[in-house]
Structure 1
Amino acid sequence: MPTDATSAKSPFDASTERVERVLCFTAHPDDIDFGAAGTIAAWTAAGVQVSYCIMTDGDAGGFDPVDRARIIELRAEEQQRAAALVGVTDIHYLHERDGYLEPSHAVIKQVVKLIRELRPDIVLTMHPERNWDRLQKSHPDHLAAGEAVTRAVYPAVENPFAYPELAEAGLEAYKLPWLWFISSPEARENHFVDVSAHVEAKLDAIRIHASQHPDVEAMERVVRRMMVLNGERCGLPEGTSAEAFHVVSVNGSSTIAGF
């Protein structure tokens, strides 16, 4: 398990919580590597099964017009290679169009279906709230991904009468314990993971997405600095790198049916 580096206000205690499976939903290829690749590397190193679901094909990304004809294939290849670097081989795709993702029932149903199939301990996704301090975190597809997954997590995943055709197909309702968000407004972040041992794996994964980086050196400087600042914010020793999350308990000791 990754080290719990948070203060007592964190709802998730990595020293006591048992995590066996994690399912990550992000809008585009590379989102998960920027947001959580260090934590994912720590999870997989500890034997946790991690799966990805990439909701759009990333077809509007990139900078080189030469790549347009094969951008979908290129970005899928990049994501597969990046995932392998942090121990992930199970990748699912919804194949929505980049820039057009919406929290529609068609999308939410697919999310519910995958969560019920895999039955993870943690679902990790983008934050549905716009971040006015760093607007780049709040691409419309990021917000739509977070909203779709949040609507799926509660109440649809645990309601046997939501999308009844799923239950009829054998996918029973499931109560998810934890929902983790990346790309969160700073005021929402309540859990930090010390990823100092996995910084290079994270950066290696991000570098794989070469089609998205016109200035690799600048990207690396920014990512390293942000992780150190996260470490400072949660009181870790100087120079420690951390990833930040907004963690929500969906079903725990304080919840009862329907509340």
Structure 2
Amino acid sequence: MAIITLTTDFGEKDYFVGAVKGAIYNELDQVRIVDISHSVSPFHISEAAYIIKNAYRSFPKGSIHIIGIDSEFTPENKHLAVLLDEHYFICANNGILSLLASEIKPEKIVEINIHDTTQTNFPVLDVFVRVACHIARGGTLDVIGRNINEIRYLKQFEPIVNTEEDQIIGHVLYIDNYGNVVTNINRKLFEQVGKGREFVISARMLTFKDIYESYSDWINFDVAKEERGEEGGKKLALFNSEGNIELAIYKSNPSTVGSAATLFGLEIRDTVTINFEK
């Protein structure tokens, strides 16, 4: 049975998500639809890319992923269907795929060309669904588009390494449901540039000199719990499950005491710098 996932900025209030699901079921009654997220910030390409990039790998090969972010069809925002890592992605050519394909080269890219058979101002419903269902039936990408070799790339989302290779300048890429701050600096780049040197991570007025492997890695479990003092509220940097450097507060609650994002005063695209010992 085919799997079609949905990642959008539609939210849950409006009819959009329900209409898209209904259209899929109207074409395919034997299909599984999985909601990855409908809470992406409106038109936020990097946020959507982070979510889908770290979710799609858990799905079986051959799964079809509809990404409904900034999908209005214009001469500068064409639509794509892409085979990448044995998964299918359907989205606008707005740069989101360059963030997904930063480490894996797409196996096939087509620019969707079925728009002349559909009049729509809701392309996710009227175009993306048709393409997804076509693929789910076993159809080829060549039928619904023309082959292209290049996609739009967004270089501004990549961290910068200075010429002396003792500094990485990155930024906040994503803020999760707990208010943890995810940067665009990953473990591979950190280790490649750092080469085991001591370092300082700086973000606004904050500094971190250690990176932990998990949220509780800093706790000394050899000490009795009643002797450790208050554990909540500890600020820390760690490599998260996706390998990105994350700034967090241990067991924070955004609804009560605040979160890393609010207490650190960090927002998406704010600068995060790592300076290594020379």
In our comparison, the structure showing a higher alpha carbon Rg is 2
Higher relative contact order (CA 8 A, sep 6+): 1
Q: Same fold (TM over 0.5)?
A: no
Higher strand share: 2
TM-score normalised by length of structure 1: 0.31
